[in-house]
Structure 1
Amino acid sequence: MKRREFLFTAFSAAVLAAPARAATAQMQVLKSPTCGCCRAWIAHIENAGFVVDVQDVPQDVLWAAKDRAGITAELSSCHTGLIEGYVIEGHVPAADIQRLLAERHDTIGLTVPGMPIGSPGMEMGDRRDAFETLLVLRDGSTVVFSSHT
């Protein structure tokens, strides 16, 4: 099996598995090898105490993983994470991930669509655009999980 097929298969299997509590919050992140904002977001996540396994993958593999996980183009961003059976799409703040893991919602996961300036990994000086973290429900719809101003 080729490396990209293995990564896609392993990621897909984990997405479809039921959420399970882990002793240490460990996240797998798929990203493009050249994305600087992804690296900055990963540093934010690691600074919050998460252990991150980063996989640089070609764009077609990344988009296939998003699709398989239930992340549509409208909900997507530049990187996709997986933690305890949840998908974390884009520049989701670590505090929102911690809250999701504590509350254990029966959902696909969280997303911050696009790349809002001021979100973790997208810092640009003092500029900060308001953004929302969305909870992605199993039917593909979303509700606001938290608002950031």
Structure 2
Amino acid sequence: MAYLQENGYAVQVNDVSDLTAVKNQYQVPAALQSCHTAVVDGYVVEGHVPVTEIEQMLTERPDIIGVAVAGMPPGSPGMDASGATQPYDVVAFDEAGNMEVMASYK
């Protein structure tokens, strides 16, 4: 959340006890679920997604539900404190359950 704030996004935090219900409400595929779920201008942002892909989505306005980074990969935004890195993908997902890699980070 601090990462989004540092990049100019206003963040409203809603602590909830049932994260599964939130992810189901926003149709986040089980394979892409992570620790944080956000809604940015009508799109879902799941997990530690780089601002580059959020801004691309907001500019292009594709017909998708949102984008996600599954899990909490070291080296992704907000997970870079240790200096360790792990390859990860930013995946777009739509209402039909289709998933497509939008970007890959090594």
TM over 0.5, yes or no?
Answer: yes
User: Under a length normalisation based on structure 2, what TM-score does the superposition of the two structures give?
Assistant: 0.94
1:52 corresponds to 2:11: yes
Q: How much has 1:71 moved relative to structure 2?
A: 0.9
Structure 1 stretches lacking a partner, 5+ long: 1-41
Q: Percent identity?
A: 41
Q: Give the residue type in structure 2 aligned to 1:103.
A: E
SS of aligned partner of 1:44: helix
The reply on whether 1:90 has 2:71 as its aligned counterpart is: no
By how many angstroms is 1:72 displaced?
2.5
User: Superposition pairs for residues 1-149 of structure 1, below 5 Å?
Assistant: 42-58=1-17, 60=18, 62-149=19-106
Question: What is the Cα deviation at residue 125 of structure 1?
Answer: 2.8
Question: How high is the TM-score relative to the length of structure 1?
Answer: 0.68
- Give the number of equivalent residue pairs: 106
Unaligned runs of 5+ in 2: none
Query: Runs in 1 of length 4+ with deviation above 2 angstroms?
Result: none
What secondary structure sits across from 1:133 in the alignment? strand
Q: Secondary structure at the match of 1:52?
A: coil
Greater helix share, structure number:
1
Deviation at 1:127, TM superposition (A): 1.4
